[in-house]
Structure 1
Amino acid sequence: MEFVNKEYLLLLLLLIPYLIWYFRYRKKSEPAMRMSDTFAYKNVVKSWRMRLLHVPMLLRLLSFVLIVLALARPQTHNSWGNRTVEGIDIMLAMDVSTSMLAEDLSPNRMEAAKAVAAEFISGRPDDNIGLTIFAGEAFTQCPMTADHQSLLNLLQNVRTDIAARGLIEDGTAVGMGLANAVSRLDKSKAKSKVVILLTDGSNNRGDISPLTAAKIAKSYGIRVYTIGVGTNKVARYPMTVGGSVQYVNVPVEIDTKTLEDIASVTNGHFYRATNTGELKQIYKDIDKLEKTKMDVKKFSKHYDNFQPFVLAALIVLLLEILLRTTILRRIP
């Protein structure tokens, strides 16, 4: 154990003047009765109350010491920990093309997909999970990690305007998105390796076809769960016209046949989500996937340990007050 704020330990020096005052000067301020002769009290046996006379003072000192130690902020040493957990390796492949701004899901497809994916990630703390995003191109937003807080932060930063701003080509490169996710799982030693691919369109970009990517996934023993998100007919879509936003109805064109084929080739499953409720249920179904044991090494940097000192100080202080005002009470 180490103390972060060691300077607070100097407060313990205050115990020295207090002890000097208690044993040398305190008695002079206490009421006293003069007697001509104390011979009659010479052999009187001390009662147990007299023997415990200084216990409240000792408890008071102990509570002060414990409070000072708590203020000094005790912490445990850095340590590595190993544990075996049940989990699988998962890559999320998410479509971020501009069509994901359609508002047939609330508030729109992109935000609904992010919210449900975040809930899914939070519910699987023992899995290695990563994130691939794609539009006309694909790249890894977050490699597989057990640090889900970092993954969630990166997920929240995903926006559909990366294509609109020209950072990547717009469109829907389903094959490229799947291939990118597969490349992050090819060296995985987990018994279960899964890609969850979510898109609202059909493949119209990229150098790798969706079925080719699916066959590559199958060769590595990776199962692909595909999700087609969007209504069955038309969707309300915001368009910027002359500096203002106008809404138009655009047709929903999801290549369900290709998504079904990808799932079939890899022994996965195809899902159709026409609203946020269905999307949540799909992730709940996927949550029942097979799990496998894996070793996780976790580094614990610091751990505050002041709580036991505060609790002990409170108990000791209450005990001192109780004794001083009841069985060890002094009159006057």
Structure 2
Amino acid sequence: MELDEKKYLYLLFLLPILAVVFFYNLYWKRKKQREFGDVELIKKLILERSIFKAVLKFVVLLLAFVCLIIALVNPKIGTKTETVKREGIDIVFAVDVSKSMLAEDIAPNRLDKTKQIISQVINELGSDRIGVVAYAGSAFPVLPLTTDYGVAKMFVQNMNPGMVSSQGTSLEEAIEISKSYFDEESKTSKLVILISDGEDHSEGAQTSAEEATKAGLKILTVGVGTAKGGPIPLKRNGTVESFQRDRQNEVVITKLNEASLQQIAKATKGNYINGRSTQEVVDFVKNALENIEKTEFESTQFTDFNSQFQWFLGFGILLLFIDIFLLEKKTSWLRKMNLFNEEKTKN
């Protein structure tokens, strides 16, 4: 059993104090009755009052308080214990969030297509740990390695070009930041799924990929966009107002550069695929994962705990109602039982 709010257990120390006060009050009343006059005569004057019922009401009230205190503590009972062994690999999704990813040459646009691909790939994973890196002109970590796929998908859905102030597409930095996610001493297989339109405006991506291979990384690259390309729309409230222009005031046409992505994949003995079809990419990743050795990286004992406060809260409220409607007058069947010797035997 597990207790959520143990601090409320200190309230139980109030119960003995209340009991002492209650029984002292009974003693004080009896003492005052003796001082006032004949006790037997006083009992005849208050014939319907029952000491037993008064004590019973107090006990019921104490039990109600006990139940309410336990409800505040919120005890939890384990319903299932099992040892879970996770076997999988570490996967980092490196996501291009540069402005060129807003081009709509692939529906709905390159970035939204990337989000669809990642979400579908995550749905097919089992026990693999996943992390997320965002990059444009620079790169930064978005989500560390985790098995919480729901959180990962939420972070991916919120990615946008505004996350990175430096525009462009630095595949080199994307690879370097992705590499930092992995422990070089770990025997767990390491995979980077790099998704981009391939428009790299930096140098050194090839060298970074080769260095990543030495660290045990494998990179799968996914190209989003078309060779024909398209303009970068500038929208306000969902409406296209204009298109991105260069210094000569010409509309920028951004195109998919498959060559750079293929080179990166080849350097790490990985593979490249065009991301036009989400299902094809999912199948591509699944096939790749089947050929990667999985290792056991977590062995944890899990216990599911269920809150039990509602039962004690219900009993506490029920006892309070009973206390309210429980009168301190004698009842005929209690009078016959003569509890607390309230009825003297007549000679």
Q: TM (normalized to structure 2)?
A: 0.60
* Alignment match, 2:73: 72
Cα displacement string for residues 194-240 of structure 1 (whole angstroms, at most 9, x for unaligned residues) = 0111111333323x133x22322222222111101124544464136
What is the distance in 2 between the residues matched to 1:237 and 1:91? 27
**Pairing 1:293–2:296 present:** yes
Find out whether 1:175 has 2:161 as its counterpart.
no
Larger of the two Rg values belongs to structure: 2
Report what 2:191 is aligned to: 194
Aligned match of 1:246: 242
The one-letter code matched in structure 2 to 1:198 is I
1:128 maps to what in 2? 129
Q: Where do residues 274-293 of structure 1 align in structure 2 (5 Å cutoff)?
A: 274-276=276-278, 278=280, 282=284, 290-293=293-296
Corresponding residue to 1:204 among 201, 204, 208? 201
For 1:140, the equivalent position in structure 2 comes to 141
Letter in 2 for 1:199: S
- Match of 2:195, SS? strand
**1:102-132: per-residue Cα shift (whole Å, max 9, x none)?**
2345543223423543564576574333333
Could you say which residue in structure 2 is the equivalent of 1:214? 209
Q: CA deviation at 1:99?
A: 0.6
In the alignment, which residue of structure 2 is the partner of 1:225?
Answer: 220
* Structure 1 unaligned residues grouped into runs of 5+: 31-54, 77-81, 319-329
Structure 2 equivalent of residue 109 of structure 1: 110
Is the alpha carbon distance of 1:8 and 1:97 closer, same or farther for their aligned partners in structure 2, counting shifts above 3 Å? same
Decide whether the 8 Å contact of 2:99 with 2:232 is kept in 1.
Answer: no
Structure 2 residue 263 is matched with structure 1 residue 261: yes
Distance 1:109 1:283, change over 3 A: farther
Q: Is the 8 A contact 2:205 2:264 kept in 1?
A: no
Secondary structure of the residue that 2:212 maps to in structure 1?
helix
Q: 1:74 to 1:157 in 2, by over 3 A?
A: same
Q: Which structure 2 residue ranges, 5 or more long, are not aligned?
A: 31-42, 51-55, 78-82, 245-250, 319-331, 335-347
For residues 10 and 116 of structure 1, the distance between their equivalents in structure 2, rounded to whole angstroms, comes to 59
RMSD: 5.2
CA displacement at 1:91 relative to structure 2: 1.9
- Distance in 1 of aligned mates of 2:18 and 2:123: 50
Matching residue's letter, 1:228 = G
Residue 187 (structure 1) shift: 1.4
Distance in 2 between residues matched to 1:260 and 1:236, nearest whole Å: 24
CA contact (8 A) 1:125 1:146 kept: no
Query: How far does residue 315 in structure 1 lie from its aligned partner after superposition?
Result: 8.2
Q: How has the CA–CA distance of structure 1 residues 236 and 202 changed in structure 2, closer, same or farther, with 3 Å as cutoff? A: closer
Post-superposition shift, 1:277?
5.2
**Larger helix share, 1 or 2:** 2
Residues 200 and 229 of structure 1 are in contact (CA less than 8 Å); yes or no, is this contact kept in structure 2? yes
Query: Does residue 185 of structure 1 match 2:182?
Result: yes
The one-letter code sitting in structure 1 at the alignment partner of 2:223 is: G
User: SS state of the match for residue 140, structure 1?
Assistant: strand
> Structure 1 residues 3, 279: CA separation in 2 closer, same or farther (over 3 Å shift)?
same
Distance 2:265 2:19 in 1: 77
Query: One-letter code of the match for 2:294?
Result: K
Query: What displacement does 1:317 show?
Result: 9.4
The answer to whether the 8 Å contact 1:11/1:68 transfers is no
Could you tell me which amino acid in structure 2 is paired with residue 292 of structure 1? T
Q: Deviations over 1:231-252 (max 9, x none)?
A: 45444641369x9613699756
Identical amino acids, percent of aligned pairs = 30
CA contact (8 A) 2:192 2:218 kept: yes
TM-score, structure 1 length as denominator?
Answer: 0.62
**Pair 1:310–1:234, CA change in 2 (3 A):** same
Q: CA deviation at 1:292?
A: 1.1
Letter aligned with residue 128 of structure 1: R
Secondary structure (helix, strand or coil) at the match of 2:112 reads helix
Does the CA contact (< 8 Å) of 1:143 and 1:184 recur in 2? yes
